[in-house]
A and B are shown apart, each in its own frame.
Chain A
Amino acid sequence: SQKIEQNSEALNIQEGKTATLTCNYTNYSPAYLQWYRQDPGRGPVFLLLIRENEKEKRKERLKVTFDTTLKQSLFHITASQPADSATYLCALGRNAGNMLTFGGGTRLMVKP
């Protein structure tokens, strides 16, 4: 069966450092992968999308990589700030219908 794994343990890092979150999947051939941010009591907010034929995408302090051979995506936040503290969700999608399958999310804590 399809499986999407994100580190269920919280990631604690110091302000200014680079945070790296992983998303691994099995039994899935996604056309694209999305990353969302979710704050407590709120719905997820879209951050970045990367397609299967793309290796890397950047947006301001965010960078996403996608390795379809390893079946893995890495999500990086450079120069992290306490305001980056949240849960980050990866989601895999197929072209047909734009239906997303979400991972369980990783909670990031950035300490000042």
Chain B
Amino acid sequence: EAGVAQSPRYKIIEKRQSVAFWCNPISGHATLYWYQQILGQGPKLLIQFQNNGVVDDSQLPKDRFSAERLKGVDSTLKIQPAKLEDSAVYLCASSSPRQGLEQYFGPGTRLTVT
């Protein structure tokens, strides 16, 4: 089966600009996660969707970050306006209770804010 797809793989923007990331989860996976991974740290959960509803977004900086999962499949994560400290890898993951509790991660999008 195809894995989690993310695009773009790399993005360089200037501070105060906006950026959007796209994720296509594994087919049939109802749960989708967005993580932020700063260099040298572990992934930090930003938002979790169950189908097209939000399960948890307590660590999402809502003044600048937004995410949506229309139709319960693909998802986009947006940052507007970006700050220098947003430089990180943004990982998308998906899971299905039929396959257990493990999460399947995409390759990530490396964002550099200058």
Binding site for B on A (CB under 8 A): 4, 6, 8, 32, 34, 41-46, 49, 89, 91, 93, 97-105
Q: List 29 A-B contacts (CB under 8 A).
A: A4-B42, A8-B40, A32-B101, A34-B101, A34-B102, A41-B108, A42-B108, A43-B107, A43-B108, A44-B43, A44-B103, A46-B103, A49-B100, A49-B101, A49-B102, A89-B43, A91-B42, A93-B101, A98-B95, A98-B103, A99-B48, A100-B45, A102-B42, A102-B43, A102-B44, A104-B40, A104-B41, A105-B41, A105-B42
Give the residues in chain B near A42, CB-CB below 8 Å. Answer: 107-108
A97 to B47, CA, bound (A): 12
Specify the chain A residue showing the minimal Cβ separation from B9.
A41
The listed residue with most A CB atoms (<10 A of its CB), out of B31, B42, B44, B56, is B42
Q: Number of B residues whose C-beta is below 8 Å from A? A: 24
In the A-B complex, the 9 residue pairs with the closest CB atoms: A43-B105, A102-B42, A46-B102, A104-B42, A102-B43, A44-B105, A97-B55, A103-B42, A105-B42
A interface, over-half SS: strand
Using Cβ atoms and an 8 Å threshold, which residues of chain B touch A100? 45, 103
CB within 8 Å for A43 and B101 given contacts A104-B40, A105-B42: no
Cross-chain contact A43 with B106 (CB below 8 angstroms) = yes
Using known A-B contacts A97-B55, A102-B43, A104-B41, determine if residue A41 contacts B101 with beta carbons closer than 8 Å. no
